[in-house]
């Protein structure tokens, strides 16, 4: 999660003209001009005007525009790889696979979801209870969707919100993180070059701009960030009566059982703990390891981690990226120091390296619940190892977390793992892998507790972008029996209907007679 997104501590980030540096070498980056409240309001107004015509396009026409934009992004992928590399420090392979490679795949996947789940639904009505009547439900765009974006995946993090929002006929205004303004702006600018004017826009800034965007009259909001900021966004949206999808962090555990395939488990946990330098809401931050194999697991894991390359070097020869900003570097440093002071064993790493915001891949063994690396989101290249006495111990500890995004189980007994998965209080469980569903649009990405109740991906996320509208058509020419006037005959009819439903035949036999009397009564009343 973006820990400073929209001001996670309730304050704006420093002046953008001061202190923004490249994580690779601390060289200064160009300042970004923050939007004024008036500019935010104007962006929302222009988006609303543009949305009316955009929503009148067919879904197929909107999909064609988004495919064109996605192809342009792929053709220009080296542009965004360089922007992301300089702005967030991603290594080239991660910039390619995590950010640049996926827009067209995302459009194809959302095409299937949107066309399948937003088509008009005809609802069959009981012809006896509702004679002459038919009904259907349309899914209509909300209007203008505000997206408050993260810095850890400043392009790919937008696929889950911006693409389905536009595909369903909304206009979108994006507020990038102040830590990755250029990367997110590039994505918006490529979209804007293809879409009708003002259908998608960007406003730069910190907490005050995020608040102004929510207050600008938008119709829905998608937020990815810290719990502190997410709670404020959720409250602001609730006060204005607009739907919101809020994702507020993760502290994903891996539960390593004694019968796991040790080589695959070490490889998988290494990759999911250190991808993007651990700066992912679905990164593995804790490994609950069965004591029976803990020594062998730690020894093998340490051997691999000590061989990984972190620090400045020739491009393509780095395995672990630097931290993306100074604040995150400070958090990682503090968590490691706290763990060591409270008795954790430093297996490897634990130090900055190079001249930028690089930090060695760090393994901490014998960690306990009072440490920040167990309680709080570290969001860095750090894995805390907790030795446990079997499955029940591991599940209990995992379920005590403040967060509830994902978890993984590593074992050869897949059937048993599925039963264990039912006991984990989180939104996503993966067996013998981790978090890969985050890149699968058909599967919901969601959580519990302080992770928030938002849903990204799948048909379950569409409620943020569309609202149902019911239309009922009545082709009857007569009168409804329950219409006015109210009298004893209508009451008796209701009693007989109730008796008929519970098969009280000694009383329900009156139903045909009462129906005929009611028909005559209504006709006489309205003929007068």
Query: Which residues carry out catalysis?
Result: 247, 281
* CB atoms near residue 256 (< 10 Å): 26
92: Cβ contacts below 8 Å, ≥ 6 apart: 81, 85, 315, 316
User: Tokens representing 248?
Assistant: 């507020």
CA nearest neighbour of 322 among 352, 362, 292, 289? 352
Residue 233 near residue 214 (C-beta atoms within 8 A):
yes
Q: What does the alpha-carbon distance between residue 519 and residue 446 come to, in Å, rounded to a whole number?
A: 53
DSSP assignment string, 167-179: HTT-EEEEE--TT
Q: What does the alpha-carbon distance between residue 184 and residue 182 come to, in Å, rounded to a whole number?
A: 6
CA nearest neighbour of 320 among 288, 287, 362, 355? 362
Q: What does the alpha-carbon distance between residue 527 and residue 507 come to, in Å, rounded to a whole number?
A: 31
Residue 11 near residue 5 (C-beta atoms within 8 A):
no
Residue 399 near residue 391 (C-beta atoms within 8 A):
no
What SS3 class is residue 27? coil
Residue 161 near residue 38 (C-beta atoms within 8 A):
no
Please list the residues that pair with 353 across neighbouring strands. 358
**Phi then psi dihedrals of residue 363, to 5 deg:** -110, 130
Q: Is the peptide bond between 485 and the residue preceding it cis, with omega within 30 degrees of 0?
A: yes
Q: What does the alpha-carbon distance between residue 98 and residue 140 come to, in Å, rounded to a whole number?
A: 32
User: Tokens representing 157?
Assistant: 């993090």
SS3 content of the chain, % helix, strand, coil (to 5): 45, 20, 40
Q: What does the alpha-carbon distance between residue 150 and residue 156 come to, in Å, rounded to a whole number?
A: 10
User: For residue 452, what is the DSSP state?
Assistant: -
Q: What does the alpha-carbon distance between residue 45 and residue 54 come to, in Å, rounded to a whole number?
A: 14
Q: What does the alpha-carbon distance between residue 464 and residue 470 come to, in Å, rounded to a whole number?
A: 18
378: Cβ contacts below 8 Å, ≥ 6 apart: 278, 285, 331, 332, 335, 372, 384
CA nearest neighbour of 420 among 443, 388, 449? 388
* CB atoms near residue 197 (< 10 Å): 12
């Amino acid at each position: 999660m973006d820990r400073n997104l929209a001001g996670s501590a309730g304050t704006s980030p420093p002046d953008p003209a001061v202190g923004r540096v490249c994580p690779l070498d601390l060289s200064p980056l160009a300042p970004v001009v923050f939007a004024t409240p008036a500019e935010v309001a104007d962006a929302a107004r222009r988006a609303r005007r543009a949305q009316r015509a955009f929503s009148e396009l067919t879904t197929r026409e909107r999909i064609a525009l988004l495919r064109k934009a996605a192809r342009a992004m792929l053709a220009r992928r080296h542009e965004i790889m360089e922007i992301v590399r300089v702005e967030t420090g991603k290594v080239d392979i991660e910039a390619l696979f995590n950010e640049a490679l996926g827009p067209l795949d995302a459009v194809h996947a959302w095409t299937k979801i949107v066309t399948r789940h937003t088509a008009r639904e005809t609802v069959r009505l009981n012809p006896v209870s509702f004679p002459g009547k038919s009904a259907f439900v349309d899914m209509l765009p909300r209007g203008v969707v505000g997206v408050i974006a993260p810095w850890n995946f400043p392009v790919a993090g937008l696929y889950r919100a911006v693409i389905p929002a536009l595909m369903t006929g909304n206009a979108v205004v994006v507020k990038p993180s102040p830590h990755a303004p250029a990367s997110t702006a590039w994505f918006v600018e490529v979209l804007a070059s293809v879409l009708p004017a003002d259908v998608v826009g960007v406003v730069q800034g910190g907490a005050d701009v995020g608040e102004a965007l929510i207050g600008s009259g938008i119709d829905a909001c998608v937020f990815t960030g810290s719990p502190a900021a997410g709670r404020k966004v959720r409250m602001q949206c609730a006060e204005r009566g607009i739907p919101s999808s809020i994702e507020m962090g993760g502290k994903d555990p891996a539960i390593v059982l004694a019968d796991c395939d040790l080589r695959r488990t070490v490889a998988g946990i290494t990759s999911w703990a250190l991808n993007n330098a651990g700066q992912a809401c679905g990164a593995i931050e804790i490994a609950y390891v069965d004591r029976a194999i803990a020594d062998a697991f730690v020894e093998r894991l340490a051997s691999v981690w000590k061989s990984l390359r972190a620090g400045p070097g020739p491009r393509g020869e780095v395995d672990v990226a630097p931290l993306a900003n100074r604040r995150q570097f400070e958090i990682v440093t503090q968590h490691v120091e706290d763990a060591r002071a409270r008795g954790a064993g430093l297996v490897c790493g634990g130090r900055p390296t190079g001249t930028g915001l690089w930090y060695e891949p760090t393994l901490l063994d014998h960690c306990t619940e009072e440490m920040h690396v167990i309680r709080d989101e570290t969001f860095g290249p750090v894995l805390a190892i907790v030795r446990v006495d079997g499955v029940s111990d591991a599940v209990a500890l995992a379920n005590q977390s403040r967060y509830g995004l994902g978890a993984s189980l590593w074992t050869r007994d897949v059937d048993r793992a599925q039963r264990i998965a039912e006991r984990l209080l989180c939104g996503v469980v993966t067996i013998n892998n981790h978090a890969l569903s985050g890149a699968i649009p058909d599967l919901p990405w969601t959580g519990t507790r302080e992770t928030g109740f938002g849903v990204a991906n799948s048909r379950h996320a569409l409620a943020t972008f569309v609202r149902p509208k019911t239309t009922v058509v009545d082709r009857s020419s007569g009168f409804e029996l329950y219409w006015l006037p109210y009298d004893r005959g209508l009451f008796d009819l209701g009693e007989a209907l109730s008796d008929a439903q519970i098969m009280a035949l000694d009383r329900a036999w009156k139903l045909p007679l009462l129906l005929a009397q009611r028909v005559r009564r209504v006709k006489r009343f309205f003929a007068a």
